[in-house]
Structure 1
Amino acid sequence: MDDHRFDPLGQLPEDPQSGLRVGYPYDEVGSRIQRQTGAEKTLVFDYDPSHKIIIRASGGVGDERARNIHPSSKLGLETSLEFIRKVADFLDEPGNEIYKGRGASKDEIEGAQNELGVIFDPDYINFVQAFGGSFVGVAIYGFNNSKMLESSSVVDLTDRFRRDGWPGAEGAYVISMDMSGNPVMIDASGSVFTYDHDSGDTRSMAASFRDFVEAAL
């Protein structure tokens, strides 16, 4: 079990995670400014004027572009950051770097939303900004996919299943496929579901994108 040790200021300077020591330096006003898992794997946290956190990757996740973390409307900023940390820890494990794609830009994400006529789930945005299309126990398609995934983007997959007339696809977007080739979709409420071609049934898979990914990690 992880041993979380907070200091008298309520800060978590070090967090043992699966045998790995993860450090969290803070600035003079108590804001977390880094996540350190080694000299080559550091996430730098900056803040904009409204105190929205910005991640600048250094070595471990994505590239050097600033990445806004979008708080989930259901879960809040801290939980959204915790989710990204869990995914980063998985992809940082030895041998798992091959599963990681390259982070998407704000323009790529906004362009995809406009083209598909949808609003992406905030945790999905955070995921593809940091990791692109990656395998995290399940394939998550976005942009700039890992070479372990096919090259299709979320736009490509969604367009494919919409053209095929797949039930539910028109008002949703496709982020993955199950073992039978059925699309895994997110609807406007943020729920993850699929339509099984063989049975003709719509099946709920998770209440949220975050739940879907965490169940696979």
Structure 2
Amino acid sequence: MKPSLLTRIDQFLSKNPSLKGRPATTEEISAAEKELQVTLHPDYQEFIRHFGGAYAGIAIHGFSNGSSIGKETIIDLTSLNRKLANENGIFPELNQCYVIADDGAGNPVALSPEGKVLVFDYDTGERQELAVSFETFIEEYFHEW
């Protein structure tokens, strides 16, 4: 991720500490990759290594999230949404993704193996690309207040 973007987020979170989690460890990242059978994108890893689960325009979940974000880890979110999708016969590609957030309406926001940010809409059954990369997603959605 661009150093200037990380600096902006860091400055924002230093003023809003309840939106910043505990930075992720190498062990947590490795365990999640093994359990979810994915490789976490380097930009996402950099984000959670710096900020843990934190707010960046949207609540981005990690392993230890800011107190205002909630306790669900990416393992929890991914496992739940894969189960829901599989039980309902929708979004088979979600099995290769990992869920980092929700869109505010309960739909999972996930990173694909290619690093794209996708939202899976349970109401319409459609998948939409939100951004070509995690960094682009954060750049588009993060605004200081």
TM-score (norm. length: structure 2): 0.89
CA distance in 1, matches of 2:94, 2:80: 9
Contact 1:80 1:123 survives alignment (8 Å)? no
Q: Which has the higher helix share?
A: 2
The counterpart of 1:190, out of the listed 111, 115, 121, is 115
Report whether the alignment pairs 1:153 with 2:73. Answer: yes
Q: Provide the secondary structure at the position in 2 that maps to 1:144.
A: coil
Report whether the alignment pairs 1:181 with 2:106. Answer: yes
Give the structure 2 partner of residue 108 of structure 1.
28
Alignment of 1:158-173 (within 5 A): 158-165=78-85, 167=91, 168-173=93-98
Alignment of 1:7-156 (within 5 A): 79-92=1-14, 94=15, 96-156=16-76
* Aligned AA (1:88): D
Cα deviation, residue 81, structure 1: 2.9
CA distance in 2, matches of 1:99, 1:175: 15
* Aligned AA (2:29): I
Q: Which has the higher strand share?
A: 1
Q: Which has the larger radius of gyration?
A: 1
CA distance in 1, matches of 2:29, 2:5: 19
- Runs of 4 or more consecutive aligned structure 1 residues displaced over 4 Å after TM superposition: none
Q: Provide the secondary structure at the position in 1 that maps to 2:81.
A: helix
Cα deviation, residue 144, structure 1: 0.8
CA distance in 2, matches of 1:133, 1:141: 4
CA distance in 2, matches of 1:139, 1:97: 13
Identity in percent = 35
Q: Provide the secondary structure at the position in 2 that maps to 1:119.
A: coil
Give the structure 2 partner of residue 72 of structure 1.
none
Cα deviation, residue 185, structure 1: 0.5
Contact 2:19 2:67 survives alignment (8 Å)? yes
* Residues 141-194 of structure 1: per-residue CA shift (max 9 Å, x gap): 011111111201101100001111251320000000002110001001000011
CA distance in 2, matches of 1:143, 1:80: 23
CA distance in 1, matches of 2:28, 2:140: 27
Runs (5+) with no aligned partner, structure 1 = 1-78
Contact 1:103 1:130 survives alignment (8 Å)? yes
Give the structure 1 partner of residue 126 of structure 2.
201
Q: How many residues align?
A: 137
Give the structure 2 partner of residue 9 of structure 1.
none
